[in-house]
Amino acid sequence: MIALEDSVDEFAKDPEFVAMFVNKANQLISKVEEDLAALEDCPPRKRGELLNQIFRSVHTIKGEAGFVAMQNIGRLAHCIENILDRAREFEIDLTHEIVMRLMASLDVLRDLVGHVDTSESIDISHALAALEGREVSSPAIAPTPAPVAATPPVAVASPIVEPVQPAAAQPQPASTGPVASTAANTTEPVAAVRQTARKRTLIVDDEPIITRIAAQQLAAAGIPADEVASAEEALNLMRRNLYNVVVCDIDLPGMSGLELIPKLKEISPLVQVVMLTGKPNFATVLNSLTSGAIDFLPKTQDYKPLIESVQHALSRVDRWVPLMRSRRER
């Protein structure tokens, strides 16, 4: 069994995860710059949708920075995110001046991502002040000093609980063919899906680092899971595999996680849905639970609550399935 604190530290130091983060962050920064440039000329009816898209991109950078222990990148992205969120809530207007501040902060963010090995040693206080419109007396980023060790992620002392072993999966009809061959022959965009034999859990999130870490943590607890990046991909796989548990992010491109819940229930009424979000609030909790989710969890580096929630959900399905069968036989 892998201790949680060791696993999180391993992700932060893994060159593959860091390279994935840098590549994704650079793509998102370029996309945010394009969208901000288009925002001022965007028709009013489409402005809200474009602003939400910009917010989700910055939110993804912030979230994934936390999982690779890039605190300065996460702090700056969080500051950008707060301004965008205030604009979404109509607390401020995105004037030309504010858009220019955002653009300048994206230049700083790109520089941090481009020098990820030394980004923790850079003083970003001037960049934060400039973004917030406070007076600054020196450039946003000082010359890069000698590298220092990055601050390690917060360790969680409690180990992962021992899992409840899932019941044996029901054999698949011979006519359906192997799952792997089905995925290989489809034209759907499911490259992110990692399928083996029958799995009972599906993770739906458009942040690949988060889905991979969540899948590895669940697998370490004896719960193998498939991964997809959108609600549409989740529905396609659900029709083929009838997962017992779906772990789903609320903010997804296209169809949202809240919109996905009833569609999953149409395919399999017994499916248990656990919702995740990086910005929990009362309204989203209430909407998730009234839509049919059984649990609502914030995205953190502590995966113990997620593991326990999925274990309980699988146990619940194991209790319900025999009852449903006995009722049908009467």
* 205 and 322, same domain (yes or no): yes
* 39 and 124, same domain (yes or no): yes
- Mean pLDDT, range 12-25, rounded to an integer: 82
* 38 and 94, same domain (yes or no): yes
Of 196 and 326, the one with more pLDDT: 326
Examine residue 292 and state whether it is found in any structural domain, yes or no: yes
pLDDT band at 324 (very low <50, low <70, confident <90, very high): low
Which residue, 71, 103, 131, sits at the end of a domain? 131
CB neighbourhood size of 236 (10 A)? 18
Closest to 77 measured CA to CA, from 86, 66, 88, 68: 66
Residue 83 to residue 51: CA distance in whole angstroms: 11
* 122 and 178, same domain (yes or no): no
Continuous H helices in 40-140: 44-67, 71-88, 96-114, 125-131
Examine residue 270 and state whether it is found in any structural domain, yes or no: yes
What range defines the domain where residue 319 resides? 174-329
* 186 and 106, same domain (yes or no): no
* 127 and 178, same domain (yes or no): no
* In the predicted structure, residue 175 carries a pLDDT above the cut 80: no
Examine residue 158 and state whether it is found in any structural domain, yes or no: no
The percent of residues in the chain predicted with pLDDT above 90, rounded, is: 30
Which residue, 105, 131, 157, sits at the end of a domain? 131
Residue 184 to residue 67: CA distance in whole angstroms: 30
Which pLDDT tens digit goes with each residue over 236-279?
A: 999 999 899 999 999 898 999 999 999 999 998 889 999 998 87
Q: Structurally, how many domains does the chain consist of?
A: 2
Question: Given this model, what pLDDT does residue 68 score?
Answer: 82
Which pLDDT tens digit goes with each residue over 182-203?
A: 333 333 333 333 333 458 899 9
* 212 and 308, same domain (yes or no): yes
Examine residue 100 and state whether it is found in any structural domain, yes or no: yes
* 101 and 247, same domain (yes or no): no
Of 162 and 271, the one with more pLDDT: 271
Examine residue 140 and state whether it is found in any structural domain, yes or no: no
Question: Given this model, what pLDDT does residue 323 score?
Answer: 65
| Segment (H or E) for 295 | strand 295-298
* 179 and 301, same domain (yes or no): yes
Up-side HSE of residue 238: CA atoms within 13 Å toward CB? 29
Three-state DSSP state, 276 = strand
CATH number at 295 reads: 3.40.50.2300
- Paired residues of 277 in beta bridges: 298
* 101 and 181, same domain (yes or no): no
Mean pLDDT of the chain: 77
Q: Which pTM does this prediction carry? A: 0.53
Examine residue 30 and state whether it is found in any structural domain, yes or no: yes
Q: Please, which contacts does 38-46 make with residues 24 or more away whose CB atoms are closer than 8 Å?
A: 39/94, 39/99, 40/94, 40/96, 40/99
Examine residue 82 and state whether it is found in any structural domain, yes or no: yes
CATH number at 123 reads: 1.20.120.160
| Segment (H or E) for 297 | strand 295-298
* 72 and 186, same domain (yes or no): no
* 189 and 314, same domain (yes or no): yes
- Mean pLDDT, range 131-158, rounded to an integer: 48
Closest to 112 measured CA to CA, from 89, 78, 136: 78
Task: Give per-residue burial for 178-216: e unless 16+ CB within 10 Å, then b.
Answer: ebeeebeeeeeebebbbbeeebbbbbbbbbbbbbbbbbb
Examine residue 141 and state whether it is found in any structural domain, yes or no: no
